[in-house]
Structure 1
Amino acid sequence: MKLARYTYKGKTSVGKIGGDTIVDLSGDGIGLPADIASILASPDALATAAAAAATPGNSGCVALADVRLEAPVPAPGKFLALGMNYKDHEEEARRLGLPIPTSQVWFNKQTSCINGPYDDVHYPRVCEQLDYEAELGVVIAKEGRYISEEDALDYVGGYFVANDVSSRDWQMKSPTWTLGKSFDTHGPIGPWIVTADEIPDPQKLTLRLMVNGEVRQNSSTSLMTYSIAKQIEYLSQVMTLKPGDILVTGTPAGVGIAMSPPVFLQVGDVIRVEIDGVGHVENRIVKEPRI
Structure 2
Amino acid sequence: MSVADEEWTQRGIDVNTPSVARLYDYYLGGKDNFPSDRLAAEEILSVVPEVRIAARENRAFLGRAVRFLAEEGIEQFLDIGTGLPTQGNVHEVAQEIRPDARVAYIDNDPIVLAHARALLRGIKGEVTVASGDLRQPEEILQTPEVRKHLDFSKPVAVLLVAIMHFITEADDPRRIVTTLRDALPSGSYLVLSHGTHDNRTEAAKKGTKVYERANSPLVLRSRTEIRELFDGFELVNPGLVWLPEWRPDDFPLYDDPSQALIVCGVGRKP
User: TM-score, normalising length from structure 2?
Assistant: 0.30
Larger helix fraction of residues: 2
TM-score by structure 1 length? 0.29
Greater CA radius of gyration, 1 or 2?
Answer: 1
